Amino acid sequence: MAQQTITALYDSYDDASKAVAKLESLGVSHSDISIVSSNENDRHSGRLASTDATRTETAETASTGAGTGAGVGTLLGGAAGLLTGLGLLAIPGVGPVVAAGWLVTTLTGAGIGAAAGGLVGGLTGAGLSEADAHTYSEGVRRGGTLVTVRADDARSSQVMDILEEHGSVNVTERAEGWKADGWTAPSAVPSDATTPASGRPGVRSYPTASL
């Protein structure tokens, strides 16, 4: 059965984490979900069992664009599932983030993230258009949280429903606003051709590429 890569961007990490928890409760495998959230101003420090020195080193690596760092944090508390593996990363062009899931493996494996353009390279490698990958990368850089799910055709509609009902943003409108404010990334506005269906402005779906 064909598989899709489904993406959603959130302004709130808490909204994104609730969507992830709902997906897991319905049986979506941890290995098919990924979350990447901006760690601007060390906002996730309370969620990570990492030292101040580790966080400082990660932030400095990100600010200099010195490559993709390995995950070094562990989620605090009693949460189960994907989010227990949340760790710190430094992504070129995006900055410090906390992240977990299959997309993180793509970014950190054998330097792929740094070589292919950080988060943009990881997303295009997963099947997204370059325009959309730039938009999602910018969304994370500006403080957002990206959830990316691999699902077969039979489950994709249910996954998209869950991602939308937890407050995903309209990335086309968001990108247009950034462009109006001077954002000059190439092909900034996502193509309507990648929108899975009318009435779903908060999620997008793509044929999953072989990773």
Q: What is the pLDDT of residues 93-137, one digit of tens each?
A: 888 899 999 888 777 764 444 434 588 888 988 889 888 999 999
Find out whether 29 and 152 touch, Cβ atoms under 8 Å. Answer: no
Does the pLDDT value for residue 200 go beyond 70?
yes
Using pLDDT thresholds of 50, 70 and 90, give the confidence band for residue 87. Answer: confident
pLDDT of 59: 39
Does the pLDDT value for residue 62 go beyond 70?
no
Rg (CA), the chain: 16
Lowest mean pLDDT among 2-11, 30-39, 112-121: 112-121
**60: CB partners within 8 A, 6+ apart:** none
Task: Give tens-digit pLDDT for 168-179.
Answer: 999 999 999 999
**Rounded distance between C-alpha atoms, residue 7 and residue 186, angstroms:** 20
**Rounded distance between C-alpha atoms, residue 9 and residue 145, angstroms:** 6
Task: Give tens-digit pLDDT for 182-199.
Answer: 998 765 455 544 544 445
The residue extents of the domains of the chain are 3-207
**Rounded distance between C-alpha atoms, residue 117 and residue 128, angstroms:** 14
Find out whether 140 and 146 touch, Cβ atoms under 8 Å. Answer: yes
**Rounded distance between C-alpha atoms, residue 13 and residue 136, angstroms:** 15
**Rounded distance between C-alpha atoms, residue 12 and residue 134, angstroms:** 20
pLDDT of 155: 93
- Both tokens assigned to 136: 């999602």
pLDDT of 2: 82
pTM above 0.75, yes or no: yes
The average confidence (pLDDT) of the chain is 77
pLDDT of 206: 92
Counting Cβ atoms within 10 Å, is residue 36 exposed (0-12), middle (13-18) or buried (19+)? Answer: buried
Amino acid at 177: G
Residue 140 Cα distances to 3, 101, 156, 209, angstroms: 25, 16, 23, 22
Residue 193 Cα distances to 2, 131, 198, angstroms: 19, 12, 11
